[in-house]
Amino acid sequence: MVRLFFTLSPTISRFSIYPGISVLAATNPSLRLRKQQHHQFKTKTPTLPLASPSSSSSPNFKRTRFYSTGSRNFSNSNYVDDNLVVLGIETSCDDTAAAIVRGNGEVLSQVISSQAELLAQYGGVAPKQAEEAHSRVIDKVVQDALDRANMTEKDLSAVAVTIGPGLSLCLRVGVRKARRVAGEFNLPMVGVHHMEAHALVARLVEQELSFPFMALLISGGHNVLVLAHKLGQYTQLGTTVDDAIGEAFDKTAKWLGLDMRRSGGPAVEELALEGDAKSVKFNVPMKNHKDCNFSYAGLKTQVRLAIEAKKIDCKCPLSSTTNEDRRNRADIAASFQRVAVLHLEEKCERAIDWALELEPSIKHMVVSGGVASNKYVRLRLNHIVENKNLKLVCPPPSLCTDNGVMVAWTGLEHFRVGRYDPPPPAIEPDDYVYDLRPRWPLGEEYAKGRSEARSMRTARIHPSLTSIIRADDSLQQQTQNVARNIVS
Ligand code: KG4
Ligand code: ZN
């Protein structure tokens, strides 16, 4: 049987004729995450000694991958699957990250260079400065990831890179680097959806997590509730009509004069521990909207007004303020966090009901993205999820915030089912136009969840990942039908 596989990036992809890969797709790898440690470059590396893959007797998947027309033996599919090795590159926002992950879920290396100082200086992400910072460190981050995995590019099976959503200027740095590596070493590429990567990394840490499942993805720029039917196929149950919860955490931290070097969220979470969460009365957003959408712009305004009312000076650091002022700040932090999370709780409860109507077999709810590293968020959402007889799956904090592992892993998941692009040319013209998708929805909107409050700003929105994959699958089906008719 010959199958045609169309990839995630129609503008740059051809198709590959790739026999036998459906066998690989059906395998569920045994997942294993190595323990990690930090080094001076905010790098996480394995603590266990590594057997060098190049010295293993495994077949070199890379060499035969593209041009095989059936000679390759896939009968031992687990073996081949486990020995895939993918480099993942992530530069969609302010973290420059790279990681190398094996097909069995083993994290061989993880490197992150954060733009902490820039974040503190600008109180948020400034695209031009962020792009320059990515450009300065990208080569070193990727090289570090290879070194720490004890590998060279020749050991890789593919390169995965985030192509959206995110800041174009920043995405470009990662995509350019990925294409250089892939072009020079003749490696296939997988274009990864950043939010899908946040969701799927949960499958790397939780072996039981199979489709369909629900996911709440909460980060600095996104706040989405999705039903994951299968790889690449999502129904969007709800999204934010304005700001995401991470943006509200960041602004609250900035206005409270907190140290932004680890981003605003952790600073608010820490200060909230000292405060009385019921002392400042904030309204829970969108109480009257019986949908699963979110809004954080109004809560931000409520927080700003409370800060002004208490005459808090954001230029005065927490360490040098009075006890009373510190208590006021802590009360606002705690009250904000309580209401921000209550909003998540209410919408998640409804979304689970909707999801169970659509897919009664759901057993898990994933909560991922930077804000999911927050302990209070995890605790509160765990109650909601358990009350609905589901199990909460939260990746560890280092895999909730942006990282290269989630990109490598998502690349692996798609690569295994044949969704990849052929290697780019070794030398690419300077004016090559990259396929970047700054505004790229993950799923198709659920009709019941459509919000009237939602902005109609749809300009430059890319078709969703789900619609692209559905179109490719249906094209593939048609091609197979034609081939079958010709044979018979
Ligand atoms: O997923 P992520 O690393 O990057 C984006 O894709 O945006 O998420 C970053 C967001 C930031 O807004 C940051 O303040 C928030 O996640 N965040 C947290 C915590 N850690 C990170 N928010 C609340 N509590 C935390 N512990
Ligand atoms: Zn993210």
The 3-state DSSP class for residue 127 equals helix
Residue 488 CA, ligand 2 centroid: distance in Å: 49
Q: Which atom of ligand 1 is nearest to the CA of 244?
A: 12
Q: Atom 22 of ligand 1 has which residue's CA nearest to it?
A: 265
Query: Rounded to an integer, what distance in angstroms lies between the CA atom of residue 232 and that of residue 412?
Result: 13
Ligand 1 probe mutation, 401, 406, 439, 440, most atoms within 8 A of CB: 401
Mean pLDDT value across residues 249-254: 96
Over 60: is that where the pLDDT of 339 sits? yes
Q: What is the mean pLDDT of residues 275-295?
A: 96
Sheet holding 233-238, edge to edge: 391-393, 364-368, 213-218, 223-230, 233-238, 444-445
Tell me the H-state helices in 314-443.
Answer: 323-358, 375-387, 397-400, 404-416
| Residue 283 confidence (pLDDT) | 98
Residue 192's pLDDT band (cuts 50, 70, 90): very high
Centre of ligand 2 to C-alpha 79, Å, is: 32
pLDDT band at 32 (very low <50, low <70, confident <90, very high): very low
**pLDDT tens per residue across span 200-246:** 999 999 989 999 999 999 999 999 999 999 999 999 999 999 999 99
pLDDT score, position 366? 98
**Exposed (0-12), middle (13-18) or buried (19+): which is 139, by Cβ within 10 Å?**
exposed
Residue 51's pLDDT is what?
27
Residue with tokens 């000694």: 49
Which helix (H) or strand (E) segment holds residue 258: the answer is none
The proportion of the chain whose per-residue pLDDT surpasses 90, expressed as a percent, equals 72
SS3 112: strand
Mutation to probe ligand 1, out of 91, 96, 249, 338 (largest number of atoms < 8 A from CB) = 249
Q: Which ligand lies nearest the alpha carbon of 221? A: 1
Q: According to the model, what pLDDT value does residue 141 have?
A: 97
Q: Cα angle at 286 between 455 and 336, to 5 degrees?
A: 110
Which ligand has an atom closest to residue 218 CA? 1
Give the separation between CA 216 and CA 199, rounded to whole angstroms: 8
**Average pLDDT of every residue of the chain:** 84
Ion ligand 2: residues, CB < 5 A = 219, 402
Give me the percent of the chain exceeding a pLDDT of 70.
82
- Joined tokens for residue 381: 């959402």
Q: Of 219, 245, 403, 440, which is best to mutate to test ligand 1, by the most ligand atoms within 8 angstroms of its C-beta? A: 219
Ligand 1 lining (C-beta closer than 6 Å): 93, 219-221, 246, 249-250, 263-266, 269, 369-371, 373-374, 401-402
Q: Which of 119, 259, 371, 398 to mutate to test the pocket of ligand 1 (most atoms within 8 A of CB)?
A: 371
Q: Is the pLDDT of residue 10 over 50?
A: no
Which atom in ligand 1 lies closest to the alpha carbon of residue 269? 24
Give tens-digit pLDDT for 103-141: 999 999 999 998 877 777 777 778 889 999 999 999 999
Per-residue model confidence (pLDDT) at position 155: 97
Mutate to test the pocket of ligand 1, among 263, 299, 300, 343 (most ligand atoms within 8 A of CB): 263
pLDDT surpasses 70 at 45 = no
Residue 487 pLDDT greater than 50, yes or no: yes
pLDDT reading at 59 higher than 80: no
419 compared with 431, residue with greater pLDDT:
419
Atom of ligand 1 nearest to the CA of 400: 1
Distance (Å) from CA 418 to ligand 1 centroid: 32
Write down the pLDDT at residue 454: 61
Q: What is the pLDDT of residues 175-185, one digit of tens each?
A: 999 999 999 99
Contact 393, 362 (CB under 8 A): no
Ligand 1 atom at minimum distance from 94 CA: 4
Among the residue ranges 118-122, 261-265, 360-364, the one predicted with the least confidence is 118-122
Nearest to 367 by CA among 338, 344, 333: 344
Q: What is the pTM of this model?
A: 0.85
Q: pLDDT at position 458, please?
A: 64
| pLDDT score for 120 | 72
**pLDDT confidence of residue 71:** 26
Hey, how many other C-beta atoms are within 10 angstroms of the C-beta on 302?
18
Judged against a pLDDT cut of 80, whether residue 99 lies above it is answered with: yes
Give φ, ψ of 206 to 5 degrees.
-120, 105
Q: How confident is the model at residue 405 (pLDDT cuts 50, 70, 90)?
A: very high
Tell me what the mean pLDDT of segment 141-159 comes to.
Answer: 98
Cα–ligand 1 centroid distance for 111 (angstroms): 18
pLDDT given at position 47: 27
pLDDT at 53 over 50: no
Atom 14, ligand 1: which residue's CA is nearest?
Answer: 265
CA of 246, nearest ligand number: 1
Protein residue closest via CA to atom 7 of ligand 1 = 220
Cis geometry, peptide bond prior to residue 463 (ω within 30 degrees of 0): no
Unique residue bearing structure tokens 């303020």: 321
Atom 13 of ligand 1, residue of closest alpha carbon: 265
